[in-house]
Amino acid sequence: MIPNSILKSPFEDKGFPQKFTLRFQGSLYTLDKPKVMGILNFSPDSFFEGSRIATDEKSALQRVEKMLEEGADILDVGGYSSRPFAEHIPVEEEIKRVVSAIAAIKKTFGEVIISIDTFRAAVAQAAVEMGAAMVNDISAGNLDEAMLPTVAKLGVPYLAMHMRGNPQTMQEQTDYRDLIPDILNYFASKIEQFNKLGIRDILVDPGFGFAKTQEQNFDLLRNLRSFKQLGFPVVVGVSRKSMIYKTLNLSPSEALNGTTALHMYALIQGAQILRVHDVKEAKETIQLFQQLAP
C-alpha cells in the first residue's frame, strides 16, 4: 500500500500549484513550467529510425544543435535500445557509445543538461564523470543492484521508470491485478528505498510501452493525474510509440501528429516533462497548453 508519508492530496490547490526543483551539478533548476527532454539515441536499433544518430561526432553535434535551437531543456543520451526484444549488448559497448558523445556535447555546448539513459551502474558512473547531470533508469534499479548506491554516491537527480522484466521479456509481463494502484504502489515502495539511500531528487515515469498492452497504455494516460499524489515530477514518454502508430495503423515515422495530440492530453493531466523525438512540436504544444491553463 502507498505509505501516508509520501501521499499528497490529488486535489491540488489552484492558487498554490505543485512546484518542483532539481539540483543539477550544484545549481537549482525549477520546474515552473513543463519541460522538454530531447531523445538522443546512439543505438543502431532504436524503434524509430529517424531518432538514430550516426556514430560520427559531426552528426551528433548537428542533431544536438537543432534540438537546442528548438528549445530542448534536457538532452537524454542513450546507447542501449530498450524497445521490445532489443539486442542485448555488453556494458563496454554501451559505455563506448555514450561517453564520447557526452564529452563532445559538453565541450561544444557547455552548460547543457544531459541525462544518461541507462539501467547499468557502470554506464551511469562513466557518463556522470564525463558531464551527465542526471540518470534515467528504465528499471528503477531492478536490473543492476549497484545502480541505486551509485546514484546516491553521485548525488544526481534520478528518473525512475516502471517496467517489469527487461526489454527482452517485458511484453510477456502485462498481467496486473489493478493497473494504476499496482504501479502507484510500485513507486511508493521504490521512493522509500530511494529515500533510505539518500536519493532525494526523484522523478517518476509510468513507463508507457513497457510491460503494458495497448489498452493499458491508454488507461495509464487517462489516469496520469493519479501519479501526482507521489509528490514528484512526472515524466511522460509516448513519443511515436506503438500505442500511437498501431492505433492509427501507421508507422513510427508517421506518428508525429498523434504524438502531439497525446502530449497535450498528458500536459492537461499534469505531466512536468515530455520525453520526445521532436522538440519543436513539443515546445509548441507546451506553449499552447500554457495559454489554456487558468
Contact 43, 81 (CB under 8 A): yes
Q: Which residue shows C-alpha cell 491508454? A: 218
Strands 27-31 and 20-24: what pairing? antiparallel
Give the three-class secondary structure for 166.
coil
Per-residue confidence of the chain (294 residues) as pLDDT tens digits?
555 444 444 444 443 357 799 999 889 999 999 999 999 988 765 444 544 565 567 888 999 999 999 999 999 999 987 766 567 789 999 999 899 899 999 999 998 999 999 999 999 999 999 999 999 999 999 999 999 999 999 999 999 999 998 887 888 899 999 999 999 999 999 999 999 999 999 999 999 999 999 999 999 999 999 999 999 999 999 999 999 999 999 999 999 999 999 999 999 999 999 999 999 999 999 999 999 977
Cα distances from 251 to residues 15, 42, 233, 265, in angstroms, run 42, 21, 30, 21
Contact 170, 163 (CB under 8 A): yes
CB 203 within 8 A of CB 157: yes
Asked if residue 138 belongs to a domain, the reply is: yes
On whether residue 192 sits in a domain, the answer given is: yes
Taken in order 98, 103, 108, 113, the sign of the CA dihedral is positive
Helix (H, G, I), strand (E, B) or coil at 104: helix
pLDDT at 171: 84
Helix axis angle, 121-130 relative to 147-154, nearest 10°?
20
CA distance 269 to 34: 12
Bridge partners of 21, per DSSP, are: 30
Q: Report the pLDDT value the prediction gives residue 86, as an integer from 0 to 100.
A: 61
Query: E strands within 44-120?
Result: 74-78, 113-117
Q: Contact 238/266 with Cβ under 8 angstroms?
A: yes
When divided into structural domains, the chain yields a total of 1
Strand partners, 273: 35, 235
pLDDT at 78: 92
- Residue positions annotated with a catalytic role: 241, 275
* pLDDT the model gives residue 212: 96
CATH code of the domain in which 125 resides: 3.20.20.20
Domain of 186, in residue numbers: 32-292
Specify the pLDDT at position 51.
Answer: 46
Nearest residue to 45 (alpha-carbon basis) of 94, 79, 9: 79
Residue 76, beta-bridge partner list:
39, 115
In a domain, 1, yes or no: no
Give Cβ neighbours of residue 211 (< 8 Å, ≥ 6 apart): 162, 163, 164, 165, 170, 171, 173, 174
The answer as to whether 9 is a domain residue is: no
Does the residue 223 lie in any domain? yes
Contact 236, 260 (CB under 8 A): no
> Would 102 be classed as within a structural domain?
yes
- Indicate whether 193 belongs to any domain: yes
| Cell numbers given for 32 | 515552473
179-197 helix and 147-154 helix, angle to the nearest 10 degrees: 50
Q: Is the dihedral of CA 195, 197, 199, 202 positive or negative?
A: negative
Q: What is the pLDDT of residue 293?
A: 76
Is 88 exposed, middle or buried (CB count within 10 Å of its CB: 0-12, 13-18, 19+)?
Answer: exposed
Q: What is the dihedral of CA 240, 274, 40, 172, to 10 degrees?
A: -50
Domain assignment present for residue 111? The answer is yes
Kindly state the helix (H) or strand (E) to which residue 97 belongs, with its residue range.
Answer: helix 91-109
Phi first, then psi: what are they for 196, rounded to 5°? Answer: -65, -30
pTM: 0.90
CA atoms lying within 13 Å on the CB side of residue 151 = 31
